[in-house]
């Protein structure tokens, strides 16, 4: 399949975002196609996080357009993006440490008991949420988490990241965006997250992955979007360029 015959799931054109005098994004284009892993790489300050925040409603861009399945969309807050099936794992983890795993998984979309207990008394269905949380965690192959009632603050960074990825995988229907999902993980848990990303892709769900870890990117990404100084310096694939060439473009030592 060539890109011209496929319609992108999410298409961004000319995204601009400034912070006072600092230009974070200077007219960035980006397309994500069905069933692909699109990696975004770039040096610190290149605008990777700003870009995905603009795609997921965490930031409102100053200019540019977004299309989801060919329909123009605009996200004013994270919930808008969630409502259309775009789930994000943020670098800051977006977990409430004092709350338990199941509560965090279902924060903002809690399940209530069926019948009047739920509709009149607003009673939460804790059991259902815990079971579904465990199912979502186990689907990722994470075996170090046994108790969905455990508070997130008692988990390690790796375990927290695993929960966050499991949450995005469980609720994303159009696109899952992962901001440095393996940055805090050990080798084994990184492997689990990469396997989970492949599983998402095989389900036909596209994934945007921001990572500093070049071997991970070259292992898993179908296409690689290189951000440099607030602009897109080019889109490559792991077969068209090797890691050294990719890093050269990223740092400005070479141009595409």
Partner 1 sequence: MSATETSTKGPAATGRGASPALRAQHVLHEHPWVSPLVLLVLSIVVFTSLNPDFAQPRAISLLLQQTAVIAALGVGQTLIIITGGIDLSVGAAAILACMSSALLSSQHGVPAPAAILIGVLIGALCGLVNGALVSRINLPPFIVTLGTLSIFTAITLMLTGGSTVQGSKMPGAMTAAGTRVPLFGLDLNVGIIVVAVLYLAVGYALGFTAWGRRVFAVGDAPEAARLAGISVSRVRLSVYIVAGVIYGIAAWVLIGRAGAASPNGVVDANLASITAVVIGGTSLFGGRGGVIGTVLGALIVQSFAIGLTLVGLDDEYRVLAVGVLVIAAVAADQWIRKVRS
Instruction: Give the residue with the Cβ less far from partner 1, 98 or 253.
Output: 98
Three-class SS state of 74: coil
Q: How far is the CB of 184 from partner 1 (least distance, A)?
A: 6
If one asks whether residue 109 binds partner 1 (CB under 8 A), the answer comes out as yes
If one asks whether residue 198 binds partner 1 (CB under 8 A), the answer comes out as no
Q: Contact with partner 1 (CB under 8 A): which of 23, 84, 94, 199?
A: 94
If one asks whether residue 52 binds partner 1 (CB under 8 A), the answer comes out as no
If one asks whether residue 187 binds partner 1 (CB under 8 A), the answer comes out as yes
Q: How far is the CB of 61 from partner 1 (least distance, A)?
A: 17
Kindly report the number of other CB atoms within 10 A of residue 16's CB atom: 16
160 contacts: CB under 8 Å, gap ≥ 6 = 93, 95, 152, 184
- Burial of residue 67, with CB atoms counted within 10 A of its CB: 0-12 exposed, 13-18 middle, 19 or more buried: middle
Three-class SS state of 202: helix
If one asks whether residue 79 binds partner 1 (CB under 8 A), the answer comes out as yes
Site string for partner 1, 112-151 (x = CB under 8 A): x---------xxx-x-----------------x-----xx
201 contacts: CB under 8 Å, gap ≥ 6 = 35, 36, 37, 207, 222
Which token pair is 224? 């690689």
Residues binding partner 1 (CB under 8 A)? 58, 77-79, 82, 88, 90, 92-99, 103-104, 107-110, 112, 122-124, 126, 144, 150-151, 153-159, 184-189
């Amino acid at each position: 399949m060539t890109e011209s015959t496929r319609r992108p799931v999410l298409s961004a054109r000319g995204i601009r975002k400034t912070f006072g005098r600092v230009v974070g994004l200077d007219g960035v284009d980006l397309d994500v196609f069905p069933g692909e892993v699109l990696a975004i790489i770039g040096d610190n300050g290149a605008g990777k996080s700003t870009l995905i925040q603009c795609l997921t409603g965490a930031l409102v861009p100053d200019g540019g357009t977004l299309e989801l399945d060919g329909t123009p969309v605009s996200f004013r807050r994270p919930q808008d993006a969630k409502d259309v099936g775009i789930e994000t794992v943020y670098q800051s983890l977006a977990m409430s440490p004092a709350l338990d795993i199941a509560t965090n998984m279902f924060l903002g979309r809690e399940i209530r008991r069926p019948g009047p207990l739920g509709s009149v008394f607003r009673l939460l269905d804790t059991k259902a949420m815990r079971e579904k949380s465990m199912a979502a965690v186990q689907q990722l192959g994470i075996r170090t988490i046994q108790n969905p009632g455990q508070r997130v603050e008692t988990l390690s960074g790796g375990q927290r990241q695993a929960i966050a990825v499991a949450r995005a995988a469980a609720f994303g229907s159009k696109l899952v965006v992962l901001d440095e999902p393996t940055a805090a993980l050990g080798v084994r848990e990184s492997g689990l997250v990469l396997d989970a990303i492949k599983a998402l892709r095989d389900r036909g769900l596209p994934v945007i992955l921001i990572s500093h870890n070049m071997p991970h990117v070259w292992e898993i990404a179908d296409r690689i979007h290189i951000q440099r100084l607030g602009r897109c310096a080019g889109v490559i694939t792991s077969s068209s360029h090797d890691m050294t060439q990719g890093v050269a473009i990223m740092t400005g030592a070479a141009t595409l």
